[in-house]
Amino acid sequence: MNGQLDRIRRESLKQKVVTAEEAASWIQDGMTLGLSGFTRAGDAKAIPEALVKRSQKDSFKVNVFTGASLGHDIDKLFTEAGIVNKRLPFQADATMRKGINNGELLFVDHHLSNTSELIRGGVLPQVDIAVLEAVAIAEDGSIIPTTSIGNSLIFAEHAKSIIVEINVAHSEEWEGVHDIYDPGVLGDREPIPLMHPDERIGTYGIPVDPDKIIGIVLTEEYDSFSTIDQPDEETEVMAGHLLEFLRSEIAAGRLTKELAPLQSGIGSQANAVLHGLLDSEFENLEVYSEVLQDSVFELIDAGKVKSASCTSITVTEERMDILRNNLPFYKEKIVMRPQEISNHPEIIRRLGTISINTALEFDIYGNVNSTHVTGTKMMNGIGGSGDFARNARLAIFVTKSLAKKGAISSCVPFVSHVDHTEHDVDILVTEQGYADLRGLAPKERVELIINRCAHPSYRQQLWAYYEEAALRGGHTPHILEKALSWHIRLSETGTMRESKEEVTQS
C-alpha cells in the first residue's frame, strides 16, 4: 500500500484515496461519466465494477462516454445492470450490442476524432465525473495515463470532477510514452505542429487542476487482453494482394519501399493484413494509427517498423508480456496521443497515411458499410475508419468475400448502410484480389469490384444485377426494386444466393 501511495507524487492528494465503492457512491442518477479506455486498453476498472455492484441496490442511469470499447466486460455488465442511458462513441461488446439493437440503451456512433470537439464546444452534456486510469499522479497533479489515452484529456479538461484509478499493475515505466496535446478552441487555433509520426508536441501527463481530483482509487489489474484471431490462410492471401498493390504503386513511382505512415483498424483482418508485411521487402516503416495490435510489435521486432504513433495498445497476453519486459526498448519507438490527434484530419492529410480498415460489406460501386448488419443492427460503430479513410493517401478497405459459410456475399448490389461513400473508398481488398477504384467513374469500378473482389460463386448474380440495371441507364445504374433484395433474401431464406446450388467456399 505504501508502494502504491508513492504513485501519488503530489502530497496533498494522498488524502484523497478512497475505496472503489465509496467513489462509485458519488455517481448520481442522470450523471454523465467520462471513462478512460480505448479498445480494452487503459480502461477504468474498479469504479465501473463497483458501480455495477451498487446497481443491485440502487436504481440509476448514467450516460457513459469513453475513448472507444472497454475491457473487463464492463459494457456487458453495464448493459445487464441496465444503468446506461446513452453510450458513445464506440463499443464492441455482444451484450451491449444486443441492448442497443433492442432499444435498451441509446448509442451514438461518432467519428472517434470528433467527440472531443462536441465536448469542447459544449454540444454534448457536460461530463460530471471523469474516471481515468493512471500509472501515477505527478507533483503538479497531472495524470500519467496507462495503455491508452483516448478521450481522457478532454474528459479531464471539461469534467466537473475527476476520480483517478492508479493501477499499479502498469509499471511506472509507461511514463514518458504519452504525448498530450490539445489543439485549442475551434476558430482560435494554431496549426498542430506535427510533421512526422515520431514527433512529440505535448506533455507527458494530462494537466489538471488538482482540486478537481475528488478521489483516488488504487488498483492492480491487467487490461483485458486482445482476443483477435491469428492470421489464417485467407487473411494471408489478402495480405498478399495488398502487398501486390503496394508493389504496383512503387512500380508506378507513387510510393517507395518505405511506403507511407500506416494505419490499421482494430480487428483480426486488418491485423492480419499488416502481419503480412513481415516477410516483405518494405522497410523503415512508420505507423500512424489508432491502436497498435500484435502485428505492429512483430514488425518492430523484425526491424521493419522504426516508429509507431497510437492512442491505444491492445495486444494478446503473450505480446503484453514481451512488451512489459522490454518497455524501455519499445518506449523509444512509440508515441501515444489523444485520439483527437491520432485521428485528426489535419495530421492524416498532411502525413498521407496508408489506411487499412475492415468493411462489413461493399457494393458494386465502392460504397462501404462498416457498422450495420442488414442496414439495421449496429455491430460496433464506425470508430476511426472515417477519420482515416476520408483523409488518407490511400483508403483501403479489407474483408473476406464470404461470410456465414458462403450464405453472405460481402459484395452486394447496394450496401444496406453507408459509412464510407464512393467518394472516399480508394482500394478494396478481399482474398480474391484487389480493386483500385481511384479516378474511376462508377461504371468503370463495377468490373474491377465484381471480377477481382467478389467471390466467384456470387459473380454471376452480381453481373446479372448490373446488366439489368445498366439497361435502365444512369450514372450509377440501379434497379431500386432489387437493390436490397440480397439482404431481404438473406433474412427470409438464410442466404443471399438465388439458387439452391451447392455453396462453394473459397
Just list the catalytic residues.
290
The full DSSP string for 114-164 is: THHHHHHTT-SPPPSEEEEEESEE-TTS-EE--SB-TTHHHHHHH-SEEEE
Backbone angles phi, psi at 334, to 5 degrees: -120, 140
Among 386, 406, 413, 433, binds a second copy (CB under 8 A): 386
Q: Which is nearer to a second copy, 184 or 456 (CB)?
A: 184
Task: Return the residues of window 216-255 that contact a second copy according to CB under 8 A.
Answer: 252-254
Say what angle helices 46-54 and 74-81 make with each other, to 10 degrees.
20
Task: Return the residues of window 76-95 that contact a second copy according to CB under 8 A.
Answer: 86, 88
> Taking CB under 8 A as the rule, does residue 383 contact a second copy?
no
Among 80, 345, 403, 498, binds a second copy (CB under 8 A): 345
Task: Return the residues of window 407-466 that contact a second copy according to CB under 8 A.
Answer: 414, 416-424, 438-441, 443-444
State the virtual CA torsion across 7, 9, 13, 16 in degrees, nearest 10. 10
Q: Which is nearer to a second copy, 271 or 416 (CB)?
A: 416
Q: Measured from the CB of residue 376, what is the shortest distance to a second copy in angstroms?
A: 3
Among the candidate windows 186-194, 211-219, 266-274, 453-461, which touches a second copy by CB under 8 A? 186-194
Strand partners, 84: 62
Instruction: Provide the terminal-to-terminal Cα distance of the chain, rounded to the nearest Å.
Output: 57
Q: Which is nearer to a second copy, 324 or 489 (CB)?
A: 489
Task: Return the residues of window 294-333 that contact a second copy according to CB under 8 A.
Answer: none
CA angle 370, 371, 372 (to 5 degrees): 120
Q: Measured from the CB of residue 418, what is the shortest distance to a second copy in angstroms?
A: 4
Q: Measured from the CB of residue 423, what is the shortest distance to a second copy in angstroms?
A: 6
Measured distance CA(449)–CA(363) in Å, rounded: 8
Task: Work out whether strand 354-358 and strand 262-264 pair parallel, antiparallel, or are unpaired.
Answer: parallel
> Taking CB under 8 A as the rule, does residue 193 contact a second copy?
yes
> Taking CB under 8 A as the rule, does residue 200 contact a second copy?
no
CA-based torsion, 387, 359, 41, 291: positive or negative:
negative
Q: Which is nearer to a second copy, 275 or 344 (CB)?
A: 344
> Taking CB under 8 A as the rule, does residue 367 contact a second copy?
yes
Among 94, 169, 464, 488, binds a second copy (CB under 8 A): 488
Among 123, 405, 499, 501, binds a second copy (CB under 8 A): 123
> Taking CB under 8 A as the rule, does residue 16 contact a second copy?
no
Asked if residue 290 lies in contact with residue 342, where contact means CB atoms within 8 angstroms, the answer is yes
The full DSSP string for 333-368 is: TEEE--HHHHT-HHHHHHHT-EEEEE-SEEETT--E
Among 178, 333, 487, 497, binds a second copy (CB under 8 A): 487
